[in-house]
Amino acid sequence: MGEHDCDVLLDVSVVSELVAAQFPDLAGCAIGRLGAGWDHELFTAGEWIVRFPKRAARVPWLLREIQITTVVAETVGTRVPRFERVGSPSSRYPYPFVAYRRLEGVAADQAFRPRPGATTDGGDLAELAEDIGRVLGQLHRIDPGRIPPTPARWEAESWGRMRADLVSVAAIVRPLLPPGLLGVAEPYLAGRVTEPARDGPHRFIHNDICPDHLLVDERTGRLAGLIDFTDAMVGEVVLDFVGLIGIGGYPFIEDAAARYGLPLGSGFTAKLVWLCRTLALTWLADAAIDNPAGLGKHLAWVARAFDC
């Protein structure tokens, strides 16, 4: 079994049984498959989203996330999902699972698709950057002592691991890059750009900020929700700014940082650039392996990370 595979088969009929048995008031709701990530399968039950861990190894992460979202909701309020329902393991499905009310909004990169004559770094993004900066400031003020450690002890991982991971997939990435972009990316692909020191402020961070996890109200362009706290931990604050490269370029990230309201620490920009470039190239490799339909999007992220 691959590291992202399911060890329990789920379909609409099985989920219908589970929902009816564990949440009787939702019995009879139309059940639909919403999608799947690396760690969870998602189904809809009326206005609810039901999320199932794909394998046993993810259960400790889910139980931890239940704790974390309770803490986060105290500060951020209705912009984050609340796991109001928790299903128990049973003979039909051996792991706990959760249900939460669906938050309105679309992924941030869908809300700001380029229009003729406009750029992705245009004025429309200014208010979203402001919202994101303020929400990150709220998150990062949460007492780190209330956050349980990650089951995999990610807090202690060296950034050198990111550099090594990129080198290991460089052969996949090189053929995907146009010559000009390949030229500036090659030192990263070859592992010649050393990771910066991890000496910035350590606070509670979401640790997976990306367009898919930032929900935007299409009518207003404002931030409507922040989802998926599976990877949340106590770590360097810069990690919560890196994924914003998927929405806009460095000016967009600077706009968000300007509204953050907390010290970013010395060397923030150098760390941001190294992480954006290293991770955007790694995500491009992941897309080539797991999601070829997303290659165009990830190529655009790489181009932004290298200011190309």
Tens digit of pLDDT for each residue in 11-37?
999 999 999 999 999 999 999 999 988
Same domain, 85 and 192: no
Last residue of a domain, one of 60, 85, 101: 101
The answer to whether residue 24 is domain-embedded is yes
Give the span between the Cα atoms of 67 and 79, in whole angstroms. 17
User: What letter does residue 267 receive in the DSSP assignment?
Assistant: T
Tell me the per-residue pLDDT of 170-199, one tens digit each, with 9 for 90 and over: 999 999 999 999 999 999 999 999 999 999
pLDDT reported for residue 117:
41
- The answer to whether residues 111 and 209 belong to one domain is yes
* Sign of the torsion formed by the C-alpha atoms of 251, 255, 256 and 258: positive
- Average per-residue pLDDT for the chain: 93
β-pair partners for 233: 205
How many residues does this entry show for the chain?
Answer: 308
Asked if the structure places residue 6 within a domain, the reply is no
User: 188 and 115 in one domain?
Assistant: yes
208 and 74 inside one domain: no
Residue 110: predicted pLDDT:
87
Residues 87, 31: one domain?
A: yes
Domain final position from 101, 136, 164: 101
Residue 114: its pLDDT value, please? Answer: 52
Alpha helices in 147-223 (DSSP H): 160-173, 179-189
Tell me whether residue 255 is in a domain. yes
Per the domain annotation, does 260 fall within a domain?
yes
Q: Is 285 part of a structural domain of the chain?
A: yes
24 three-state secondary structure: helix
**Which residues in the chain land under pLDDT 70?**
1-4, 113-123
Query: Cα 282 to chain center, whole Å?
Result: 15
d(CA 111, CA 114): 9
Crossing angle for the helix pair 160-173 and 268-290, nearest 10 degrees? 40
Q: Are residues 268 and 173 in the same domain?
A: yes
Pair (240, 142) in one structural domain: yes
Residues 71 and 132 in one domain: no
Report which of 58, 250, 290 is spatially closest to residue 169, judged by C-alpha positions. Answer: 290
Output the pLDDT for position 181. Answer: 98
Q: Could you tell me if residue 47 is inside a domain?
A: yes
How many Cβ atoms from other residues are within 10 Å of residue 166's Cβ? Answer: 24
Q: Can you read off the two tokens belonging to residue 48?
A: 């609810």
- Give the per-residue pLDDT at 4: 61
CATH number of domain containing 182: 3.90.1200.10
Domain count, the chain: 2
212 and 256 in one domain? yes
CATH number of 35's domain: 3.30.200.20
- Give the residue numbers spanning the domain of 134: 106-305
Report the SS3 class of residue 33: strand
Contact present, 234 and 304 (Cβ < 8 Å): no
Whether residue 119 sits in one domain with residue 57: no
Q: For position 191, what pLDDT does the model report?
A: 97
Residue 88 lies in a domain: yes
Residue 4 belongs to some domain of the structure: no
On whether both 252 and 114 belong to a single domain, the answer is yes
Q: What is the DSSP letter of 231?
A: T
Question: Which of 80, 101, 122 corresponds to the end of one domain?
Answer: 101
129 in the same domain as 43: no
